[in-house]
Amino acid sequence: MPLEKRYPTINLRSKNEIAKRITDNKLPFKESIKLLNRVINNHSELWHDVISFSEPSKGKYVRSAKNTPLGKLLSLFDKKILRPHDKLIPKFIFGGVSGGSHVQASYHLLGICKKRTKLGLDITKFFEHNSEQRVFYFFHKKCNCSVQASKILSKLCCVPLGAKGSNNSKTLARGFATSTRLAVWCNLDLFLRIYWEAKKTLKYKDVKIAVFIDDIGISASRVDKRTMEDLSLKIRDILENYDKNQCLPLNNKKTEVKSYLDGEIEHLGLILGNKKLSFGRKTRKKLSDLKKDLDNKQIKGKQRKSLYTAKKSYYSYKKYIKNPIDDKK
């Protein structure tokens, strides 16, 4: 695929052009440039760590800029600068694109032919492995933005590694509105390389590839587990060595090869059945516990009402996964 068709032509040359791009009827240019300047001058004060969702022991910190000028600006970046180019993202990528979801990713892996084997891979600290320099390179070299505009965009979308207050190098902020799309775009070449390798290795095997943020799923029909294990090694080599400027290590504990002969095949919390999806083990357990609570006559009032609401949401979800509508454009 030619580079000019693979990547978006964002073509921003200056701070004023960035402000113009996010301007609309609700946010005139004077207000947008004012917002941009305020965020540039106070960036470090406009976000915080969400400790309840972070995993410090794993080096994962969720950030939030909600209800701040930075949060507003990032949402505008995502809506006005990144989202319009979703149509360029390949169909096998479901995370970070309009209409893509974990259900769509899992449904895609069902394929057409039966007797499937699935390879599941998980990229370790996906967001944290995308440096500010990587984001700058994407805007400048891939999207034809100037050095000035690329520096502004990459700086505002990234924060230092570790807990807030550290002086570590900057990477994509886990939790910012722009991060998922940027993570996809910054690693598009690697994902395409994986797609081509899987298609070549599993030729004529009804191979399906689904990338959902940091999860990679590959399924094929009538393939032995050894072939999938060999493919896993090839993909590892691509992620860690193909691009000398970008190493994406895999989580060995989450690398899994499973055949239909082994029993239920689960991906992203859903069971891959014969041309249909069903609840995964954790969801079935939660629903079972919920039903037990509803059988308990001692639970009354608001608590019982909340249980019925939760039960209703489970059944709505069940209906959706049985007949997922592909909204991905």
Q: Do 259 and 302 share a domain, yes or no?
A: no
> For residue range 153-179, what is the model confidence (pLDDT) as tens digits?
999 999 999 999 999 999 999 999 999
pLDDT surpasses 90 at 325: no
pLDDT at 61: 97
106 found inside a domain: yes
97 found inside a domain: no
Q: Do 206 and 229 share a domain, yes or no?
A: yes
> For residue range 228-257, what is the model confidence (pLDDT) as tens digits?
999 999 999 999 999 999 999 999 999 999
94 found inside a domain: no
DSSP string, 80-144: IIIGGGGGGS-TTB-TTSTT--HHHHHHHTT-SSSSEEEEEEEBTTTGGGSBHHHHHHIIIIIS-
Identify each DSSP E strand in the chain by its residue range: 48-49, 63-64, 116-122, 158-160, 170-172, 208-212, 215-221, 256-259, 266-267, 270-272, 277-279
Q: Do 207 and 305 share a domain, yes or no?
A: no
Last residue of a domain, one of 254, 272, 290: 272
More confidently predicted of 271 and 3: 271
Confidence of residue 329 (pLDDT cuts 50, 70, 90): very low
Q: Do 203 and 181 share a domain, yes or no?
A: no
Q: Do 9 and 60 share a domain, yes or no?
A: yes
11 found inside a domain: yes
pLDDT surpasses 60 at 326: no
329 found inside a domain: no
Contact by Cβ (8 Å): 50, 175:
yes
Q: Do 233 and 217 share a domain, yes or no?
A: yes
Question: The tokens of 280 are what?
Answer: 């995964």
pLDDT surpasses 60 at 327: no
> Residue 67 belongs to what domain range?
3-88+131-186
Contact by Cβ (8 Å): 85, 329:
no
> For residue range 275-304, what is the model confidence (pLDDT) as tens digits?
899 999 999 999 999 999 999 988 989 999
Q: Do 144 and 224 share a domain, yes or no?
A: no
Mean pLDDT, the chain, whole residue set: 94
327 found inside a domain: no
What does the DSSP 8-state code read for residue 223? -
b/e map of 300-311 (b: 16 or more CB within 10 Å)? eeeeeeebeeee
State the total domains in the chain: 3
Q: Please tell me the total number of residues recorded for the chain in this structure.
A: 329
Confidence of residue 4 (pLDDT cuts 50, 70, 90): low
Q: Do 11 and 117 share a domain, yes or no?
A: no
pLDDT at 323: 76
Question: Residue 65 belongs to what H/E stretch?
Answer: none
Read off the pTM.
0.91
pLDDT at 63: 98
Q: Do 56 and 141 share a domain, yes or no?
A: yes
Question: The tokens of 105 are what?
Answer: 């990713």
CA–CA distance, 275 with 106 (Å, rounded to integer)? 11
Percent of the chain with pLDDT over 70: 97
pLDDT at 95: 86
More confidently predicted of 137 and 298: 137
b/e map of 250-276 (b: 16 or more CB within 10 Å)? beeeebbbbebeeeebbbbebbbeeee
Q: Do 143 and 232 share a domain, yes or no?
A: no
Q: Do 43 and 78 share a domain, yes or no?
A: yes
Q: Do 192 and 72 share a domain, yes or no?
A: no
Q: Residue 252 maps to which CATH number? A: 3.30.70.270
